[in-house]
């Protein structure tokens, strides 16, 4: 009898999910037009920021590499091609993000140590106040 109840409950859940999916497929988006436009604009701005930051990082890295490598005696231009600015910039951007997350992980450990020390000192202070020392 218990097995039949489980099968009936599973069938009911599948039926309700199927009805729910059919209703979702026919409904209009719940997001108003202005909110959707704002979201698209925000995404565009974030992507533009990432592209601009990567471009500037790439220009800086290529400039430093050309300072190190020197100029080509035949053309007088840097030895590192300007066509590498975008790829180097994106790799530098990703590297900075990884370094930031690494620092945050380290910072999180340091903050936890500070919190533990703070609570310990607070408990010592409460005990000393309670003992009137």
Long-range interactions of 117-124: CB distance < 8 A, separation 24+: none
Residues 83 and 20 in one domain: no
Predicted pLDDT of residue 59: 93
pLDDT of 100 > 70? The answer is: yes
Q: What is the pLDDT of residues 50-90, one digit of tens each?
A: 999 999 999 999 899 888 888 777 777 777 888 888 999 99
At 91, is the pLDDT very low, low, confident or very high (cuts 50, 70, 90)? very high
Do 109 and 46 have their domain in common?
yes
pLDDT of residue 108: 84
| pLDDT number for residue 49 | 92
- Same domain membership, residue 85 and residue 97: yes
Whether residues 35 and 84 fall in one domain: yes
Per-residue CA distances from 70 to 12, 65, 73, 79, 80 (Å): 74, 8, 9, 7, 9
Instruction: List b or e across 101-116, with b for residues whose CB sees 16 or more CB atoms inside 10 angstroms.
Output: eeeeeeeeeeeeeeee
Residues 1 and 46 reside in one and the same domain:
no
pTM exceeding the 0.75 threshold for the entire prediction: no
Helix axes 33-69, 85-131, angle to 10 degrees: 110
Tens digits of per-residue pLDDT, 16-54?
555 444 444 444 555 556 766 776 788 889 899 999 999
pLDDT classification of 125: cutoffs 50, 70, 90: confident
Torsion of CA 8, 14, 19, 21, to 10 degrees: 170
d(CA 106, CA 116): 16
Range of the domain at 18: 1-30
Collapsed DSSP state (helix, strand, coil) of residue 12: helix
- Amino acid 77: pLDDT: 78
Q: How many domains does the chain have?
A: 2
């Amino acid at each position: 009898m218990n097995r039949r109840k489980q099968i009936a409950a599973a069938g009911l859940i599948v039926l309700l999910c199927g009805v729910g999916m059919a209703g979702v497929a026919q409904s209009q988006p719940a997001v108003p037009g202005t909110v959707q436009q704002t979201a698209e604009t925000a995404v565009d701005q974030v992507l533009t920021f990432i592209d601009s930051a990567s471009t500037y990082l790439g220009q800086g890295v290529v400039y430093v590499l050309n300072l190190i490598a020197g100029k080509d005696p035949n053309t007088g231009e840097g030895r590192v091609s300007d066509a590498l600015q975008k790829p180097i910039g994106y790799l530098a951007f990703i590297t900075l993000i990884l370094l930031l997350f690494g620092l945050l992980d380290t910072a999180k450990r340091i903050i936890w140590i500070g919190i533990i020390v703070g609570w310990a000192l607070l408990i010592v202070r409460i005990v000393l106040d309670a003992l009137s020392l």
